[in-house]
Structure 1
Amino acid sequence: MRVLPTAIPDVLILRPAVHADARGWFFEGYNRRAFAAAAGIDPDFVQDNHSRSSRGTLRGLHYQLARPQGKLVRVTEGEIYDVAVDIRRGSPTFGRWTGHHLRAEEHELTWIPPGFAHGFLVLSDFAEVSYKVTDYYDAASERSVLWNDPTLAIDWPMTVPLLLSDKDRAASPFAAAEVYA
């Protein structure tokens, strides 16, 4: 497994070894020992999530205040633009974001540690996104930062009208968002 840096050192792109031949391909989507050896971290995953969304769907920027989740994100079909925003007030990268194209055929994963807001935009006709999380879903502590907040100035690669949930339309501007101490 290769670890690729991003603009925020705590967010990592992981490129697993893919074994291909005439039959197709195989790779380990997650191997705790390999992940710890390559990335230097050993998260305890407690839940797997899977979504399917159509082109132009923007989900995020979501986080849980009381039960922050680390996420290991992978696209199993299609392509997304995956974004992480550092909302850890004491962090040297507080208020900064990093984005990366994730495509199913490249088999890359993004590691987003606890303390980040996360979102993605679907760029293909549809995309299926699978991600492991380090804490359970907690509706009471779920929060959202406005996807197009001018302070963050995220450069989303939009090519079609967006599909947003009512919750994401009503998200907090970054300046008013509850963040981690």
Structure 2
Amino acid sequence: MFRKYGLAADNVVDAKIVNVNGRILDRESMGEDLFWVVRVWGGSSFGVILSCRIRLVPVPPKVTIFKFGRNLEQGATELLHKWQTIGHEIHQDLFLHPSAKLVNSSACIGKTSRVSFLALLLCPAEKLVPLIYEIFPDLGLESSDCLEMSWIESVLYFAGFSIKEPLKVLLQAGLSKRKVS
């Protein structure tokens, strides 16, 4: 969603802090320079943040995700190169992120690189495949590769949880990094 709406820091519209002198400051009384520091960096060197007001953005009832991977033997290098040439042209409702990692090779003994593409589209699934095919046909995406879910379920998915997990797992502090399956 940050392609369309920016990062959370871009949507902070007000904050209250206690400065080093014990004064409670809001956006107006702290000034735009300090507000920028608080908004972007947290401002812990300048005081304690008491609260933030964040502009909410609309979320559709259903979003679509996919995770699609290829090894070097399956043309991963060419796919990554293609993404680098078209990535800036992708529709703002689509987040398409490549990641690479070392995996066991299925073609020979040893290791190979695997490039995975993770995607989130702020639309139902029937719009994703034609959109990808138009800009990135080499990916070979099919509708069976796509999962449609609520936005909060996609947060669970990208955090490495099953979409059936209770939402309260997202509130647990100190979660170890989970792998997106």
**Larger-Rg structure:** 2
Greater share of helix residues, 1 or 2?
2
Fold match by TM threshold 0.5 = no
**How does the TM-score come out when normalised to structure 2?**
0.22
Q: Going by fraction, where is strand more abundant, 1 or 2? A: 1
- TM-score, scaled relative to structure 1: 0.22
